[in-house]
Structure 1
């Protein structure tokens, strides 16, 4: 397991420029439209609430589209990612968009030191981040250390039940093929594809990943003294996680709004699957 960071970093270093060039990340839309927000942030905007003036850190920020969106909502944002290529693309996007965003290269477990021990009002983490971490308890320790008293965590993630499904099962049924709970050893994948439209042929295809049960995530945060204030499960997810079994739908962008975003949901009986969730937790003052 000692090489998981090197393997995963090589994978993301190669994918970063391909993702930035893909129409799915809408980089040119971000540059041309100063009011444009990522659909991941728009989906949760009413749940996220006001962030104007908050000191925020976006962990595992990748190429920075959600980071830029938080900036456009008024937060003072720092993005952090372990991939130098991702940070390069994020800085380029921020510069083109005229957004003063700081970016720091570090893995999550080194975030406190890399950020100089600075406290934040908001720790933000988007979809598809926690699966790259082998130990959810260490993640919760980092989150708690980064938050100032009264600060909060906002997390939108793929549901661990979704991560446990075998999307390649030929039966077309929802088959649990992978661990739901955190395991000591990673799931090792060798996959030359990616989740966005691109013609690039990837060479760094091996990754190490872990699932973390919802109870494990919540308990890890509670053990660090955080108070859970929100846990909402959704039947949609931002990408076609189960190819051939999902359809694009207009998903409500949070409660109290008529705005919608396009997300993927099971075509048949979508109530069977919690595909993602939104979690918030506060560090007591």
Structure 2
């Protein structure tokens, strides 16, 4: 396999069963508690506002826990992901919960062709999505194409500074590009970001970083109006193992001097009404 999508899809397809079984995704809690929301969406709620009755699409939705959470807040949700096993799991969970949602298997760059243009009140993208895409400008054009006039983009993502770092023995080390590059950052790692005893056979992934200015500029050049950027000192995963501590809400911060590092950001923009 030479296409980055094939390489990454094989990796994500294999991760799905381990993620479904992991306590980190709380699948059983979703099934047992009708009010349960994912930790990511709970964090987003103060900035997300009221989505009741709105038609939303969650791009790169994986197994659908955040998508289901948005539906539980009253949104009419669609999910899209390039991994068929992930989408199958998302559909199964929505069906078991009695939620009327639709899920589609497609590459994010094909979302407008698959889902329809100007069809959504909001586009939602969660943590760890943009790093799998080589072209942030193309992604922003897809978002703009999906939104109705007046619709908005909501994304919380890992900060590009965090993606550029690796955990050193005492302090983080700057090892990877901050800006988007033509060549992918190629990883060959056996694990995943949840605790599991599964040994994976497809371990190679291709990833890219996208600087904050690149992302904001891409959104503006796609015709959206930039509304806000909030930087957070926490992330919903242990981004720098050995250097971070988890709080009671599933967020991880630097153990020492957490105010020294922006770990994630929330970006919001909207499509002009005219």
TM-score normalised according to structure 1 size? 0.94
Quick check: 1:36 aligned with 2:24? no
- For the aligned residue pairs, the C-alpha RMSD in angstroms reads 1.1
Distance in structure 1 (CA, Å) of the matches to 2:16 and 2:29: 17
Which residue in 1 is equivalent to 2:162?
162
Which residue in 2 is equivalent to 1:72?
72
SS at match of 1:109: helix
Which residue in 1 is equivalent to 2:244?
246
Distance in structure 1 (CA, Å) of the matches to 2:43 and 2:252: 13
Which residue in 2 is equivalent to 1:3?
3
Q: CA deviation at 1:187?
A: 0.3
Distance in structure 2 (CA, Å) of the matches to 1:87 and 1:118: 23
Q: CA deviation at 1:87?
A: 0.3
Q: CA deviation at 1:150?
A: 0.3
Quick check: 1:284 aligned with 2:272? yes
Q: How many residues align?
A: 273
> Which stretch has the larger CA shift, 60-69 or 224-233?
224-233
TM-score normalised according to structure 2 size? 0.98
- Report 1:5-20 matches (<5 A): 5-20=5-20
Unmatched 5+ residue regions in structure 1? 251-260
Distance in structure 2 (CA, Å) of the matches to 1:101 and 1:230: 29
**Conserved in 1, the CA contact under 8 Å of 2:243 and 2:254?**
yes
**Conserved in 1, the CA contact under 8 Å of 2:117 and 2:147?**
no
Distance in structure 2 (CA, Å) of the matches to 1:244 and 1:48: 31
Task: Map Cα deviations across residues 111-158 of structure 1 (whole Å, 9 max, x no partner).
Answer: 111113351000000000000000000000000000010000000000
Quick check: 1:267 aligned with 2:265? no
Task: Map Cα deviations across residues 179-231 of structure 1 (whole Å, 9 max, x no partner).
Answer: 00000000000001111121111011000000000000000001112111121
Which residue in 1 is equivalent to 2:58?
58
Quick check: 1:212 aligned with 2:193? no
Which residue in 1 is equivalent to 2:126?
126
Q: CA deviation at 1:174?
A: 2.0
Unmatched 5+ residue regions in structure 2? none
Distance in structure 2 (CA, Å) of the matches to 1:152 and 1:238: 23
- Report 1:115-194 matches (<5 A): 115-117=115-117, 119-167=119-167, 169-170=168-169, 172-194=170-192
Task: Map Cα deviations across residues 240-276 of structure 1 (whole Å, 9 max, x no partner).
Answer: 11011000124xxxxxxxxxx2300000111111000
